Every structure is written in C-alpha cells, then in structure tokens.
Structure 1
Amino acid sequence: MLENIQTYLTRWQTDPKLVRPFFTRLLEVLRTPENALEFVEREGVSASLRAKVAGSGSASGSAFGELFCLVDVVEDANGRWLSVCFYADTVSDPEEHGNLVPLGLLGEDGYCFDVEEPDPVLEGYVLERIGEARERVQAGRRRS
C-alpha cells in the first residue's frame, strides 16, 4: 500500500493549487500503528486515502477496522484539491468550515472539508477533526 502511495506522490509533479504538502502531512498523521490505511486510485478522477482504526471491526464485519477519515485527492482541470471527509456522527464542526453531505459518505451523512489552496487555519482545523474522529471511533461512540 505504501508503495502505491509513493508511486502516486512521485507522479504528482504538477501542483498549481499547492495542496500536495498538506496531503503528505495528512499521510504522516494518519500513518500510525493504531490505523490501517487503504489507498485507491482512480486515474484521472481521484485518489482516496482511507484511514481505519485497526482492529476495531465495523458494521460490515471488516477485519481492517472502522473507517474514520477519507482523504480524496480530486482531479480538476485547474489542479488537484483535497476533500477530507468524516462520518457526521464522529466530528463536530463548531466553526462551520465543512460541508454536510447527506448520505454522501458511503451511504451515510458526512462532513467534508475542502482544501483548495494552502490555508494553515483550515489545515489545523482538519487535523483536529482527525483526532476527534479517531477518538470517537476508538471509544465505540460511532453509531451503526
């Protein structure tokens, strides 16, 4: 899996929106022993980095754990941008930076935070949401 991500990052040379550094930061934050990562590339459309709590199980019974964060790299004619998504019941959005997406995250309500350019405030906020979602899933507070 890490080889696939490294290959993807090596090919990602053009970055007019300057979001590649935040993607690599997200990868660093999500790549921990407590997390299981999946990487799915749909060439020319998007790439998805899916972080799951390792060993937590899921409603579907997956041994890979329960999804708590989905990072999409979206292909755009003007350059790639990031959409960092969470199940709505695993994060708060007190500053309303996210977009509520009814039934938009694998058939459930989600919050997506779009990063279309470097923005240290938004990036810090998204990193806080990652911690919040991970903690809620680990504590078993995610509703099925």
Structure 2
Amino acid sequence: MSELAAFIDSWTDDPNGVKKAFVRLKTVLESLQGATVNFVPRPPASYSLRAEPHRGRPVITMVDVATLDGERFLSVCFYADTITDPEERGDLIPGGLLSQDGYCFDLDSGEADDVAYIEARIIEAANAFSLPEDSPCGEVDEED
C-alpha cells in the first residue's frame, strides 16, 4: 500500500466530510494531463498533495490536510496569477506559495458547492499552465 493510500485508509474520523473532499480533489488532480501528483507528508503538521507540472513552476496547486483544535481541514493554494476568485472565497497570501503570492482556500467540510468551487480553480490553474484535463467535472478548452 502506498503512503498516500495508507494515509487515506487511516483517516477514519471524518464527521464533516473533509476526507471525501480530499479524495475528490485528489481525483481531479490525477486527471490533469502533463502533471504528476505527489504526496508530501509532514506529520503531525500537515499532509500535502502537490500537482506538479512537467514544465514551468514547481506546482500547479497544493492541497494540504491540516488539523486545528482536533478537526481536520483542507487548505488549497494556487499561484495568485493562475486563478480568479469571483466569489472572493479565498485569501491572498503574499509570498505564501513557494515564496510567490498565492491564493488559499480553506475547506472544513465536504459541502458539494465548496468542493466544486475549488475544482473550478484547479481547472483554471491547469489551463494557466496549458494542461488539458480529462475530468468530467470541467470542460476542456479545445483552443489550447
């Protein structure tokens, strides 16, 4: 069993559906062509999924699982110049993503609308890197 699979399997306490959101976002990241998804555990601080493009910047997005007051939540971060935030749900973090300005979104539940909003940002960031995706959750831009 891979380290990521073992982490997911060991995540048994999930009253808010954060694990479900994590697994869904993992699936979206794995659908990106031209990117590799890596798991970077840093226990007990966080556990991170990183979608790394095969060219350009080091990451497209990072999905961190963190714990606050005993509750797990996701912090999903993007380079600020690769996404928009039309509903202003994220936080601009100057120098916050590998020393570059980033946008981070916190998910403390598996609420479908919130997860879909983050999925849309993942696809937007992938498009900024000119990466196609196969996921049924988004549309492929045929002009690229």
Range of TM-score over shorter length: 0.7 to 0.9
Q: For structure 2, which runs of at least 5 residues remain unmatched after alignment? A: 132-144
Spell out the pairing of 1:64-75 with structure 2 (5 A cutoff): 66-75=58-67
Alignment match, 1:90: 82
One of 84, 93, 96 as aligned partner of 1:104: 96
What residue is the counterpart of 2:8 in the other structure?
Answer: 9
Match of 2:22 in 1: 23
* Superposition TM-score, scaled by structure 2 size: 0.83
Partner of 1:61: none
The answer as to whether partners of 1:16 and 1:79 remain within 8 angstroms in 2 is: no
Unaligned runs of at least 5 residues, structure 1? 59-65, 140-144
Aligned-residue CA RMSD (Å): 1.6
Q: For 1:3 and 1:42, how far apart are their aligned partners in 2? A: 16
- Write out per-residue CA displacement over residues 63-105 of structure 1, whole angstroms, 9 at most, x where no aligned residue: xxx4111000002233110011100000001110111111111
Identity of aligned residues (%): 40
Q: Deviations over 1:45-67 (max 9, x none)?
A: 110100012x2244xxxxxxx41
Does the C-alpha gap of structure 1 residues 109 and 57 become closer, same or farther in structure 2, counting only changes over 3 Å?
closer
* Alignment-derived partner of residue 133 in structure 1: 125
State yes or no: 1:117 paired with 2:99: no
Name which structure has the greater RCO, CA cutoff 8 Å, separation 6+.
2
> Is this contact kept in 1: 2:19–2:110, CA < 8 A?
no
Q: When the two structures are aligned, how many residues end up with a matched partner?
A: 130
TM-score, structure 1 normalization = 0.83
